[in-house]
């Protein structure tokens, strides 16, 4: 139960001269349930703060929010890695509280339907990719944001769908989620500095959509590993082969690591998204960057 009088009393103590007192009050505020954050934020609009009270109550509100997001991401890691959209929606709530898994799926379904209307399933893999490229990059106008590359909104999938621009991994995520809804075996490749996609050479009856693409599956299931070709979503869906990727890897002076050539897990994708957001926040919202770093540490270690 949200006790308004108790919360007000705790806030009053946040600028107490006694460190033990204000820290104890802050710890009590941290115990507020995340579901009550909206009530807390509404209450804050009706209170006159000292500067110290404002800073400390704001930090408490952020801690409650990020602790909740952290717990949700850890739960996703252990129980829902087959559902990439679920994790993306949780990440969107870092900045956009109203975004849900369903709201993202509705937008992806619109893109899928536009592509499906152009599809004939006797098409070659390359022809199917050309259709998706046309739908995403010409009809809907998605493109790489080369001007404000590091802007945080380029990493939140709801804003990428809305603004029609993003960074390599966000555009790749939209691409692969649309493709998988069309039953195309397209997945992410965690290439450093430039995330790309791979079209896997799978049997037509392979039920790849049910793969969670966790580390065990990627290691033990050879049928889901071999790339047919690669796709660069950041430059409009350019297609290239393994030989060209080898050249790129050499030019980037990367070690000859299979992880740079083969499909990565959904967990890899989510960690990469969070790292992009962290780097963005260092430039645009440095006071919140540490919260993002905490999320990364939690999901990688827990």
What's 16's domain CATH number? 1.25.10
Query: Which two structure tokens, joined as six digits, stand for 284?
Result: 């645009």
Confidence at residue 208, expressed as pLDDT on a 0 to 100 scale: 55
Same domain assignment for residues 41 and 97: no
> Which of 79, 94, 117 is where one domain is finished?
79
Q: Look at residues 94, 93, 2 and name the one whose alpha carbon lies nearest to residue 39.
A: 2
Span 27-45, average pLDDT? 79
> Which of 61, 79, 97 is where one domain is finished?
79
Span 12-29, average pLDDT? 83
**Strand partners for 187:** 198
pLDDT tens readout for residues 255-272: 877 778 889 989 999 999
Q: For residue 94, what is the DSSP state?
A: T
Same domain assignment for residues 106 and 206: yes
Higher local confidence (pLDDT), 43 or 261: 261
Phi, psi of 230 (to 5 degrees): -120, 160
This prediction's pTM: 0.89
Same domain assignment for residues 127 and 180: yes
Domain that holds residue 139: 84-301
Q: What number of H helices and E strands is found in the chain? A: 13, 6
Distance, in Å, from the CA atom of 10 to the CA atom of 53, rounded to the nearest integer, reads 10
Confidence at residue 219, expressed as pLDDT on a 0 to 100 scale: 46
pLDDT tens readout for residues 165-205: 999 999 999 999 999 999 898 999 999 889 999 998 876 55
Mean pLDDT across the chain, nearest whole number?
A: 88
């Amino acid at each position: 139960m949200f006790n308004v009088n108790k919360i007000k009393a705790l806030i009053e103590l946040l600028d107490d001269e006694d460190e033990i007192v204000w820290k104890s009050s802050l710890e009590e505020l941290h115990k507020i349930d995340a579901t009550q954050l909206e009530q807390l934020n509404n209450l804050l609009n009706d209170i006159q703060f000292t500067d110290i009270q404002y800073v400390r109550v704001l930090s408490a509100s952020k801690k409650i929010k990020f602790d909740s997001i952290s717990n949700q991401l850890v739960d996703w890691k252990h129980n829902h890695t087959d559902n990439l959209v679920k994790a993306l929606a949780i990440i969107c709530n870092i900045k956009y509280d109203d975004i849900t898994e369903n709201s993202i799926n509705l937008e992806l379904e619109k893109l899928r339907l536009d592509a499906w209307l152009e599809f004939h399933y006797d098409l070659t893999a390359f022809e199917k990719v050309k259709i998706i490229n046309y739908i995403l990059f010409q009809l809907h106008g998605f493109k790489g944001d080369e001007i404000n590359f590091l802007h945080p909104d380029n990493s939140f999938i709801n804003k990428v769908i809305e603004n029609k621009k993003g960074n390599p991994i966000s555009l790749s995520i939209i691409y692969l989620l649309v493709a998988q809804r069309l039953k195309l075996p397209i997945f992410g490749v965690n290439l450093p500095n430039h995330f790309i996609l791979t079209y896997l050479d799978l049997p037509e009856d392979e039920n790849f959509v049910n793969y969670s693409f966790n580390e065990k599956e990627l290691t033990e299931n050879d049928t889901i590993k071999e790339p047919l070709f690669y796709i660069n979503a950041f430059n409009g869906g350019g297609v290239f082969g393994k030989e060209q990727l080898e050249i790129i890897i050499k030019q980037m002076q990367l070690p000859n690591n299979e992880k740079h050539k083969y499909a990565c897990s959904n967990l890899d994708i989510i960690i990469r998204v969070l790292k992009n957001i962290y780097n963005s926040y260092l430039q645009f919202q440095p006071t919140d960057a540490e919260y993002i770093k905490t999320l990364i540490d939690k999901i990688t270690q827990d």
